[in-house]
């Protein structure tokens, strides 16, 4: 049950200041949007200054691990070798790979090649070949705080149409970020990305999207990239989430592998690309935490 704070009580954010001089006006502004019928965040998913600093420490590991993969990924490597790199580097730096044993997921990272949209499971039999595109999705826990980002890698001589897909997917992050503003809506981000992707002849996966993150791996809300401007959750300072649209060269429809119940493919077999960043909304815009 939510406890109503008095003006002179200590603020819920942990600052040690009185509520009236800290977050009271902030909460009142959120409540105004709620009464207008908008979806608004509650305190449980708004990050304090201390939370954000701890997420940044987790993100330092996540970024370093992806940098390590970038320096070592190559043609002829099996995806299990990528998993081994991620596990060893994360542990060496004092973190824990967030995907490992998460809801039964068996590995430390997701490796998604060509027509695999997301959640590809690393294995010794899957070899990176000349012309492949692969997404490496890395997530880290440090002292109970979560970071999450992914990058695309192009192996060897990649066809021009595949390169363009990867580039448009990357550019879609910038387009989405341009719509991140305090007291705006997640639907603003979704529409900006969807409009841009469609203008380039591609489609955006509907069923899978971004998410809130910080104290848990996946927090509310679900972040759609086929949403409409002025809809979805209100973005407020301290709101931390991921932008990670999955862009298909063909149609948006996807299938989940019936054998492992994790790997997501494009239904029509077309290539898919995705980049992911983690950010926090600030008083005047946003700050990217992991990339």
Tell me: the pLDDT tens digits for 18-37? 999 999 999 999 999 999 99
The two structure tokens encoding residue 273: 């690309």
Question: How big is the chain, counted in residues?
Answer: 291
**Residue 105 domain-assigned?**
yes
pLDDT band, residue 1 (cuts 50/70/90):
very low
**Residue 277 domain-assigned?**
yes
Name the residue with higher pLDDT: 18 or 2. Answer: 18
**Residue 229 domain-assigned?**
yes
**Residue 24 domain-assigned?**
no
Mean pLDDT of 166-193: 98
Beta pairing partners, 23: none
**Residue 107 domain-assigned?**
yes
**Residue 34 domain-assigned?**
no
pLDDT band, residue 198 (cuts 50/70/90):
very high
Q: Per-residue pLDDT tens for 132-176?
A: 999 999 999 999 999 999 999 999 999 999 999 999 999 999 999
The answer to whether the bond into 227 is cis (omega within 30° of 0) is: no
What is the count of structural domains for the chain?
A: 1
pLDDT recorded at residue 196: 98
**Residue 32 domain-assigned?**
no
CATH number at residue 283: 3.90.230.10
- Separation of alpha carbons 117 and 266, rounded Å: 6
Residue 84 pLDDT > 60: yes
- Separation of alpha carbons 120 and 262, rounded Å: 7
Q: Are strands 210-212 and 246-248 parallel, antiparallel or unpaired?
A: unpaired
Beta pairing partners, 46: 239
pLDDT recorded at residue 4: 83
**Residue 276 domain-assigned?**
yes
- Separation of alpha carbons 144 and 136, rounded Å: 22
Half-sphere exposure of 190 (CA within 13 A, CB side): 23
Distance of CA 153 to the CA centre of its chain: 17
pLDDT recorded at residue 74: 98
């Amino acid at each position: 049950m939510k406890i109503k704070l008095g003006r002179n009580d200590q603020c819920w954010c942990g600052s040690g200041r009185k509520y009236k001089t800290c977050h009271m006006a902030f909460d009142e502004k959120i409540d105004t949007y709620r009464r207008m019928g908008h979806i608004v965040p509650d305190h449980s998913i708004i990050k304090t200054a201390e939370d954000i600093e701890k997420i940044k420490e987790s993100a330092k590991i996540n970024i370093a691990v992806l940098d390590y993969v970038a320096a070592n990924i190559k043609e002829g490597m099996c995806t299990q070798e990528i998993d081994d790199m991620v596990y060893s580097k994360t542990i060496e730096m004092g973190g824990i790979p967030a995907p490992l044993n998460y809801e039964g997921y068996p590995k430390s990272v997701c490796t998604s090649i060509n027509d695999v949209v997301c959640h590809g499971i690393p294995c010794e039999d899957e070899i990176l070949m000349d012309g492949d595109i692969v997404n490496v999705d890395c997530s880290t826990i440090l002292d109970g705080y979560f970071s999450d980002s992914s990058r695309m890698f192009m192996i060897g001589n990649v066809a021009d149409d595949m390169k363009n897909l990867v580039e448009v997917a990357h550019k879609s992050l910038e387009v989405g970020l341009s719509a991140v503003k305090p007291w705006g809506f997640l639907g603003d981000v979704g529409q900006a990305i969807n409009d841009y992707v469609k203008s380039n002849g591609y489609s955006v996966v509907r069923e899978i999207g971004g998410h809130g993150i910080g104290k848990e791996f996946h927090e509310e809300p679900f972040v759609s990239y086929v949403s409409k401007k002025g809809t979805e959750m209100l973005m407020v300072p301290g709101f931390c989430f991921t932008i990670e649209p999955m862009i298909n060269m063909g149609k948006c429809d996807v299938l989940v592998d019936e054998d492992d119940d994790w790997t997501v493919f494009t239904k029509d077999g077309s290539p898919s690309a995705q980049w992911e960043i983690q950010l926090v909304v600030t008083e005047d815009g946003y700050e990217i935490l992991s990339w």
